[in-house]
Structures are given as C-alpha cells and as structure tokens.
Amino acid sequence: MSVEDANQTAHILTEALPYIQRYAGKTVVIKYGGNAMTDENLKKSFARDIVLLKQVGINPVIVHGGGPQIGKLLEQIGKESKFIEGMRVTDGETMDVVQMVLGGLVNKQIVSNINQAGGRAVGLTGKDGNLILAKKLEMKSKATESHPSEIIDLGLVGSVDKINPGIVTLLDNEKFIAVIAPIGVGEDGVSYNINADIVAGEMAAVLNAERLLLLTNTPGVLDKQGELLTGLNKQDVSRLTDDGTISGGMLPKIQCALDAVEAGVESASIIDGRVPHAVLLELLTDEGKGTLINR
C-alpha cells in the first residue's frame, strides 16, 4: 500500500470515530426493502455493514420487505399482484405466499448472510413473542365532488395495533441482531400482511431509535424532474403527495418516516440501497446521501 493510500484509509477510519461515539449504545432501525436486495454481492455487503455496526456497539434492528420476491412467487403460481396506494391486495392464498416468502425465504437469507459475516442474527415474524399485534387496515378512498369517500377492502392487509418489543430488547441484550418480517397477528390469531415500511416506522418509535433508515431502489425522493430532494418536512410531503409527485410504494414509506420523526425518532432517511455499503456511508461517514425527513 502506498503512503497516500494508507493515509486515505486512516482518514476514512478516523472520520467514522465521532459517528461511532454518537451512535454507540443507540438503536438504529433499518428497513431493507425488497427492491434493494438486487444481487448477492450487495446482500453480502449489507450483512457485513450490519455486523460492523453491532461490533462497534450500535444496535441495528432490521425490518425487511420482499414485495418483488412475493410478486415473483405469485407469478409462478399464476396469480397477479394488485396494489392500491402501495398496499398489496391480499386474499387467503396470497397471504400463504406472503408468509412463505417473508417469514421463510427472505428472512432466513438475511439471517444466514449476517451469520456468515460473523454476526448473530435471529429471524422473527410479528407472531414471535406477540411482537406485532395487528388489525385489519381500514383504507378509505379520497372523497371527490361527485364521489363520497368509500372503504377500500384490501383483504388480509393489517395495520399495527401494538408492538411488544420485549423479544427484540431481549435479543439485543444478548448481543443478537433481530431480523423482522412484517407479518402481524390479530387478536383472533389471524395473520396479516403489513407493509414493511409501516412496521419499520412503528418499530423505530417504540424502540426510541436514534435513526430510521429506509433502503430502497431510488436515490431518495425525487421531484417531477427526477432530481433528488435532499430534505423534506410535513408540509413539503403533503404538497408533493397532493400534486402526484409522490405515489405508489413511496406513499407508505414517506408517511412512516414522518410518523417516526413525529414520535421522537431523531431523523428518518430514505436512501439508495443499491449503492454498496449504503448503511455505513449514511451512518458513519460524511458521505450520506438521500432524502432526510425532519419534523
């Protein structure tokens, strides 16, 4: 290694120090979106980042999605995916696929990658330890002059009723990393499909997290010209939603980010999970990019 390279490496490591000191002992909730799980190398670098955070005393809690992966299996069994305002319409058969993909394939792959990287991950769904109590989501259509607001039936789509974080805290105390699939359980034992962004936002609020990071497949929230919006508050979001700039999967993402900061999370960031080591860059360097959401 040349002297210049060595200096550069040392510079990067020392740059991380104030960030490590700032976040040591704090919880960071990381939403790992299905769209950010693009290739194997990226998944492995994500896992290494998480292990590194844990190693330096930060407490990462992972909430993952898997929308595209659910869509792929549904397609294989000849079922079409249908979304309304970023939420998957979920009948009984779809719910079985959701549980297989989120609670099984995706969850265990993340757990396995973290463990391969030297960490101690434990996979959970919201059913484990009654972590996520859910109820049926009540979505209403927007009222227009000619149509009053109507209830939209999304089937087995849930909203978070209550989070019992005991199991997550217990795992953290024992130096494990919790990897959570967004499946909730109703009072009657019924399973609900919950948008992963919503679970991540609620989890961050309940755990008093310092940061919420939402990893997705865009550089952040973009304006109508496709330019990155680096900072947004509640008023900006409501304007961008009303004029249609924010739509589809970005709707629950931005809403949960706002809810989390309103509940006391220091800040929420929507970042590009397709960039290798996006988590480390965002948390431990001056290089963090993406959209920062504040109160």
Task: Please answer whether residues 37 and 51 qualify as being in contact, where contact means their C-beta atoms are separated by less than 8 angstroms.
Answer: no
**27 contacts which partner out of ligand ADP, ligand X2W, none, CB within 5 to 8 A by kind?**
none
Tokens encoding 77: 């069994």
Rounded to the nearest whole angstrom, what is the least distance from the CB of residue 14 to ligand X2W in the complex? 35
- What minimum distance in Å lies between the beta carbon of 270 and ligand X2W? 12
Among 59, 195, 218, 255, binds ligand X2W (CB under 6 A): 195
Does position 255 interact with ligand X2W (CB under 6 A)? The reply is no
Q: Which one of 60, 65, 119, 273 is in contact with ligand X2W (CB under 6 A)?
A: 65
- List, in sequence order, the alpha helices (H) in the chain: 3-23, 40-55, 67-76, 92-98, 107-116, 166-173, 196-206, 234-242, 250-262, 278-284
C-alpha to C-alpha distance for 59 and 62, rounded to whole angstroms:
10
DSSP secondary structure string for all residues of 187-243 = TTS-EEE--HHHHHHHHHHHTT-SEEEEEESSSS-B-TTS-B--EE-HHHHHHHHHT
**Shortest Cβ 189–ligand ADP spacing (Å):** 27
Taking CB under 6 A as the rule, does residue 34 contact ligand X2W?
yes
- How many residues bind ligand X2W (CB under 6 A)? The answer is 17
Under the criterion CB under 6 A, does residue 196 sit at the interface with ligand X2W?
Answer: yes
Interface stretch with ligand X2W, choices 6-14, 120-128, 192-200, 205-213 (CB under 6 A): 192-200
Question: Residue positions in the annotated binding site for substrate?
Answer: 66-67, 88, 193
